[in-house]
Structure 1
Amino acid sequence: MTQETTRPASQAQIQAVPLRHPGRWVGAGVLGFLAIFLLQGWLANPRMQWEVVGEYVFSPAVLRGLATTLALTVLAMIVGIAGGGVLAILRMSPNPLLAGLSAFYIWIFRGTPLLVQLLFWYFLSAVVPKIGLGVPWGPTFVEFDTNQIITQLTAAVLGLGLHEAAYMAEIVRAGITSVDPGQTEAAQALGLSRFQTLRKVVLPQAMRVIIPPTGNQVVSMLKTTSLVFAIAVPELLTSIQGIYSRNFQQVPLLTVACLWYLVATTVLNAGQHYIERRFSR
């Protein structure tokens, strides 16, 4: 016998054969066929009027609406993230008054519809006609007309941003609580203050938990801005509605809106992936 034939069976090379999954291929084939069938029917349907889609996809009115949508998303998320961070810190404060105020804010803004909040800010002048700076229950030094300060765009940013802050507060709080308490104790043992511990130790580690849901909130905010049609802010969907109210081409113009929303969300998803990969280091 040769040396190869006398080798024990345990030392012989094992030929691993992967398991076959014919059901997966059949299911994938069926789903692929259905996807191609539906896509072909959608693209080849003459009633979609793709020439109208191509005519309006880069229309100045549509692009202005898109710019307003993006600006609202950025401004509202800045307000929401900053406010949510402050609310989360207050919610975790050992001071019961601060923690209670934060919980009350979150309860109010998460418990009422966003559309109602937008309308409330838009009609604020009916309740508060003048906004002034001065001594409480005393003289007023500077006074402004509420309608001049709370414009349509301002009302939209306040409504979207303050509503978002209530949700971001819970996201930030979940990220902070996910960090091992031993990290805080070690930082305090080294002489770091509460603020230094939060900024240098806790938040950098909490960002890995905070970023994914925050990315989802940004994408959601992009689409939620369509609610500001109720206060006549000319964002993307409002601009689209204004066009098809004149030419009655509802489906092609709504397709234009869907295309731009998909483009914007794709860019935001790519940015979220880059930020997640950076903080995962």
Structure 2
Amino acid sequence: MSGDYFISILKPMFEGAQTTILLFLIAIVVSIPLGFLLTLAVKSRFRPISWIAQVYIYVMRGTPLLLQLLVITFGLPMIPVIGEYLILDRFVAACLGFILNYAAYFAEIFRGGLLAIDKGQYEAAKVLGFNKWQTTMKIILPQMFRIALPSVANESVTLVKDTALLYAVAVPELLHFAQTAVNRDFTIMPFFVAGVIYLLMTMVLTFVFKWLEKRFKFE
């Protein structure tokens, strides 16, 4: 394989990687806050809200992400009467699918973080004169974040790899261009190049979360 060949396949694959990174950033920025809101909904004393949130999390975690992407991209437009209003751009549909799916996973991570906090923390805060808002913002949430951070990091790495599912809904991302090169040139090398690019992205993400863990560990 010549250097010119690698250059020729790297350019479109880097363009695909930009789509991968963009999807990741949109999904992570929106799904984490949404996941936290779902956690609060599950813990709500208003039963209908708690029940709806629990059913939502169960459905999103219990069905494949690929199926959810296919339903949002191709299934919603087939709904009678309102289907024509539910036709979404492929990339927008993919973003929506990833956000809805990963919000459910982050909700469970945050719920686990809250459950890991000793109940004595609440009692101690009450003795010290903290109100419920102060207890939540200054004591509970910082601890929950530290506890949940490793799991959030792991789920974020999984999100990077899951972006390859864009290929199934015809969004041209990294794997799409790798597959195109393989079919065109009859060589498996583009798959290895794609694998290296995925590894580089996950490596950078891992370093970022390791830095965050060290920073918040001692604060």
Q: TM-score, normalised by structure 1?
A: 0.71
Q: Distance in 1 between matches of 2:176 and 2:53?
A: 34
For 2:179, the equivalent position in structure 1 comes to 241
Percent of aligned positions with the same letter in both sequences? Answer: 35
Amino acid at match of 1:101: I
Change (3 A) 1:256 1:53: farther
For 2:64, the equivalent position in structure 1 comes to 113
Q: Distance in 2 between matches of 1:66 and 1:77?
A: 16
1:192 aligns with 2:131: yes
Q: Distance in 2 between matches of 1:232 and 1:259?
A: 22
Q: Which runs of 4+ in 1 moved over 6 A?
A: none
Q: Distance in 1 between matches of 2:110 and 2:8?
A: 41
Task: Pick the structure with greater CA Rg.
Answer: 1
Q: CA deviation at 1:56?
A: 4.2
Q: CA deviation at 1:55?
A: 2.7
SS in 2 for 1:58: helix
1:54 aligns with 2:44: no
Structure 1, residues 239-268: CA drift from partner, whole Å, max 9, x if none?
21122222222x110011011011111101
Matches within 5 A, 1:201-212: 201-212=139-150
Gaps of 5+ in 1: 1-48, 132-143
The one of 1, 10, 15 equivalent to 1:64 is 15
The one of 45, 69, 76 equivalent to 1:94 is 45
Matched residues, number: 216
1:272 aligns with 2:204: no
Matches within 5 A, 1:107-256: 107-123=58-74, 124-127=76-79, 130=82, 145-147=85-87, 150-189=88-127, 190-193=129-132, 195-249=133-187, 251-256=188-193
Structure 1, residues 181-224: CA drift from partner, whole Å, max 9, x if none?
2222333452423x443222201011121100100111110000
For 1:262, the equivalent position in structure 2 comes to 199
SS in 1 for 2:10: coil
Of structures 1 and 2, the one with the larger relative CO (CA 8 A, separation 6+) is: 2
Amino acid at match of 2:164: S
C-alpha root-mean-square deviation of aligned residues, in Å?
Answer: 2.0
Q: CA deviation at 1:145?
A: 3.6
Amino acid at match of 1:248: F
Amino acid at match of 2:47: P
Gaps of 5+ in 2: none
Q: TM-score, normalised by structure 2?
A: 0.90
Stretch of structure 1 that moved more, 78-87 or 224-233: 78-87
Q: CA deviation at 1:79?
A: 2.6
Q: CA deviation at 1:100?
A: 1.0
